[in-house]
A and B are shown apart, each in its own frame.
Chain A
Amino acid sequence: MLAPVVHILPITRIRRHRLLPVAGRVLIRKGQNINPNDVVAEANLHPHHVLLDVAHSLGVPKGDADRYLERDAGDTVSEGDVLAGPVGWNKRVLRAPCSGRIVLSGDGKMLLEEEKPPFQILAGLPGVVAFLIPGRGAVIESVGSLVQGVWGNGAVGFGVLHVLIKKPDDILTMDQIEVDLRGKVILTGYCGEEQVLRSLSELPIQGLVLSSMDSALIPLAKEQPFPIVVIDGFGVLPMNSLAYNLLRTSSEREITVNAEKRDVYTNQRPEVLISMPVDQVVQEPRDTIVFSPGQRVRIVRAPHQAKIGTLIAIKTDLDVLPNGVKAKIAEVELENSKKIKLPLANLEVLE
């Protein structure tokens, strides 16, 4: 059976596509070294158009208006530029209400696309531009420690990691919020208070990596300008041991927090990366794996959610769970040597 794969790795090579949803301009070149906040590509995602009634503005019949046009489709204009006219004794003219580009003109009308700051797609990780995808973006390659999470608020950030977490089941409280967290990426446990998030926002910080979060905070978390990555899930959950040990020992190192939304079709996941220069060849992790005994697995649903263990055996026939549900069962040995049985569907392989 094919297994879902999640990566928590001390060192690996990763490649990430950074693509615009529409055609636009690519602003980097192949082989370029880039930082997480560098702009890869930009495009006008939400255009704003203004339809100008040339005939009405000049006070001429619709059929005559095109004779007075001063600018053509495709021209770039600034606010106040004369677009048509002058007409008559009082020299009536039509001026551009905003800066932009003339999209269409004719039949007494003119369509102007207002100039707006473009939507920009950021690199999201430090590395090298492996190759460009013309008009859409690029593929960026990086080497370092990688921890993938389950939820992100959509933002991207970069900063020095400050480790607040002391044990996997720590809870972030107001009394831990101090001014020296300003500008840092914070690693902590469970966050369940709205006030805590608001206080971090006021500092502000560069990023927040949580073991778990109260699901009621999702709307507020989405509003935050800094990235928030939840590693293990919603509700009070301890951080899984692999991520905890890897991140906790990375205090004061530069860390990239890419809190992009999970997309099952592109394999995009929220993740954190601690980049490091490495001379030796490092392989990319595998994404396609079939469940087999000996694999390290993470449990994705209660009970034992977020715990890590080793897959010991997979039963070939359906078995009955304690609640009566029939499922394909896996036997897993947890890190405390306890052996448990649970549905294979509730596991993902750590690679």
Chain B
Amino acid sequence: MTTPSEQGGSLLAIDVGEINTRAVLFDVVEGRYRFLAFGTARTTAQAPQNHIMEGVLRAISRLEEITGRALIGEDNRVITPGSLDGSGVDVFITTMSAGPPLKVLVVGLLEDVSLASAKQLVSTTYAQVIETIGLNDGKKPEERLDIILSCRPDLIIIAGGTENGATNSVIRLVESVRLACSLMPKEQRPEVLYTGNQALLEEVENKLGSLTKLYKSPNVRPGLDVEQFSPAQARMAEIFRSFRISQIPGTSDLDEWSGNRLLPTSTAFGRIIQFLSKVYDPTKGVLGVDVGASATTIASAFDGELTLGVFPEYPASLPVTEEDLAIELALTRQAIRCSISCASDGFPKKIGLSADGLLPWFEPIVATGSVLTQAPSYGHSLLTLLDALQPTSITTVVLDQSNLTAPLGAAASIKPFISVQVLESSAYLSLATVITPISNARPGSPILRLRVTYESGDETSFDIKQGTLEALPIPMGEAARLRLQPLNRSDVGMGGPGRGGSVRVVGGILGVVIDARGRPLLLPGDTGRRQALYKKWLWTLGG
């Protein structure tokens, strides 16, 4: 593979998902990076193929058909570097979510402190906690030993001990891990990530280093009220890569093609959300939702501080009937709702969910995943997201139609400009600017008086009633000025209940949407009435 160049050049990104493998091509057009095309093929990580390269080559081959560019050489490898005749690419990157989740055993001191942080760390990649061992779990040393031997984890994460804090208690837990490892055949020993008190690094190395592969990262919980995930997350990504290389044939080839930079899809997705949070208003967060076949990823970032959560899982076939589609989208709502609820545990304490469980202010919200991007209409996609996320204040909901966010995240470390330039292109579709007045008023009561001044100078005014969903037909890309006057002490995110003001908004493909249905969203218990409301809301959003 060629050394990645900072200057220009084409980029081929492979994303190996649980069901589909995607090959995405970016290149410089008129001095700026553009997304050109993508090809997909069924992922071949599962039996009977059990080798991902078959799916990768099929996806690239499909991309060759679409673009007319030769990308694979006679040696069945990607042609690099790109040549003047358009064949080949200059940079190759890979992201991956396929494969069974890593089985992780978490060891720490206190349930609400180091164990909570370690569990949060596990949720940042495609992994699941299968057991926990804590200082206060009441278990004898031999019971801890039996737990480790019985559950046969792929990875043990040891956390605990704040900086300048506990040492002896941590070492006792490390001793249990050491004993368990020493009793297992070498090839079955779990790998260990130590992310506890850094004063013990040498002692931990002495106890575990010769027994198994030991990863170390800065303390995930350096203080009782302080968490730092970024360094440990990078380690988790490294461990994920290492496991996938050993678990799934073909992964090592793909990793080699990409210069040993294979990333978990969730990590790459999170990178872009983190980047956006640095670009946009630091007082608000940026939210990313990726509904995949194996997991839903929720990435939220506040002023550059990323919280990442990966939550399994989702079906693979396609709905044919209206009823089946409604069931699938209901499952999607539930998957996102559960995921955001779990992910919110990791939001910064000063920003997290409010007392009544409302989402903090995110602007923008970026969503992707085939269940959203391939929904029958943009209205289906937006309504699903509004119902599941229940955003607050004023936000823009953006659809990543071609699932580019993770590839861009992977490319960001090699070609920083590509992310910026593609994000600014039309590859990302603004569904709508969404305004959410929140009020305790009775359904039907006016809660917001709205005056719209269009670019043409035309003006219109009307009241929004509690319990309704309205769409203003502001064309895509056109700006308008809204004068928001809350009624009945409703809160539109302009400084508190009853406070209004003027705001400039830009129309998305569905214009500007006023979601006055209430927070939290309470649906009628009667099935018929619920169905009628759903149809009405969908009709409002264009059917």
Contacts and interface: CB of A to CB of B under 8 A. Distances in A.
B318 interface: yes
Contacts of B41: 1-2
A47 interface: yes
A90 interface: no
Interface size class of B (residues with CB under 8 A): 35 or more
Contacts of B496: none
A175 to B, nearest CB: 33
Contacts of B150: 45-47
A345 B317 contact: yes
Contacts, number: 103
B47 A267 contact: yes
Contacts of A263: 47
B294 to A, nearest CB: 11
Contacts of A51: 140-142
A197 interface: no
B320 A303 contact: yes
Contacts of B149: 46-47
B44 interface: yes
Contacts of B355: none
B376 interface: yes
A266 B47 contact: yes
Contacts of A301: 317-320, 324
Interface residues of A, number: 38
B185 interface: yes
Interface string A321-349: 11111110000000000000011011000
Given A51-B140, A265-B46, A288-B48, A323 B146 contact: no
Given A1-B42, A46-B146, A50-B142, A264 B47 contact: yes
A302 B188 contact: no
A48 B146 contact: yes
Most buried by B among A47, A287, A325: A325
B308 interface: no
Contacts of B75: none
B539 to A, nearest CB: 14
21 contacts: A46-B150, A49-B142, A51-B140, A51-B141, A111-B179, A264-B47, A265-B50, A267-B47, A267-B48, A287-B47, A287-B48, A300-B317, A302-B324, A321-B318, A323-B325, A324-B325, A325-B325, A325-B374, A325-B375, A345-B317, A346-B318
Interface of B: 41-42, 44-50, 54-55, 58, 100, 140-142, 145-146, 149-150, 152, 179, 183, 185, 188, 316-322, 324-325, 374-377, 380
6 tightest Cβ-Cβ pairs between the two chains A and B = A324-B376, A267-B47, A287-B48, A343-B318, A51-B142, A323-B325
Interface of A: 1-2, 5, 21-23, 45-51, 103-104, 111, 263-267, 287-288, 300-303, 321-327, 342-343, 345-346
